[in-house]
């Protein structure tokens, strides 16, 4: 690969083989690639942090809006652990739906990109391709983040006193 060029040039020159290569250009491209990768992960990390913050706020606000309903459920016999799982299920459902939509969008976009570059590729090659293992890991990560994000809302749901339902009547 292109990453092997600088080391290969040095090895061949050490053996006395004269080589004409643009190893310095390859090194500059590698430095640029590492810089762009770091920038990508920085932007991705900020996006993930923002998504977690929005999910936490949304689920917590949902519990606050449903305080009376959750209090009534507690009054008719639901235990704290039962109420604890409402925000967890809601967070997982939202994340699962979002991941499903994202996978569908990726599939459609990848198909368009690969068709656009068909003339420049050899048979069977794709320019836009994520392995199924990577997609699976991404879905598991999204569900894990959603589960962790919904814990604050779940804790708030367990703190609702059943007497609140009676006081509001």
- Looking at residue 165, what is its pLDDT? 67
Structure token pair of residue 125: 């090659």
Reported pTM: 0.69
Low-confidence stretches of the chain (pLDDT < 70) are 165, 168-169
C-alpha distances in Å from residue 24, one per residue of 7, 29, 91, 117, 137: 11, 9, 50, 29, 36
- Looking at residue 155, what is its pLDDT? 92
Q: In terms of Cα–Cα distance, which of 84, 126, 83, 76 is closest to 106?
A: 126
């Amino acid at each position: 690969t292109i990453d092997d060029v600088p080391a290969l040039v040095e090895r061949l020159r050490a053996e006395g083989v004269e080589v004409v290569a643009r190893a310095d250009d390859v090194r500059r491209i590698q430095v640029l690639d590492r810089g762009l990768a770091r920038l990508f992960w920085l932007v991705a990390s900020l996006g993930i942090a923002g998504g977690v913050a929005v999910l936490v706020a949304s689920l917590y606000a949902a519990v606050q809006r449903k305080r009376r309903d959750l209090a009534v459920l507690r009054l008719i016999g639901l235990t704290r652990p039962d109420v604890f799982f409402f925000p967890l299920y809601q967070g997982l459902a939202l994340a699962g739906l979002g991941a499903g939509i994202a996978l569908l969008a990726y599939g459609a976009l990848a198909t368009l990109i690969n068709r656009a570059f068909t003339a420049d590729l050899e048979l069977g090659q794709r320019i836009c391709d994520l392995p199924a293992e990577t997609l699976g890991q991404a879905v598991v990560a999204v569900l894990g983040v959603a589960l962790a994000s919904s814990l604050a809302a779940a804790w708030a749901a367990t703190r609702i006193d059943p007497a609140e339902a009676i006081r509001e009547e």
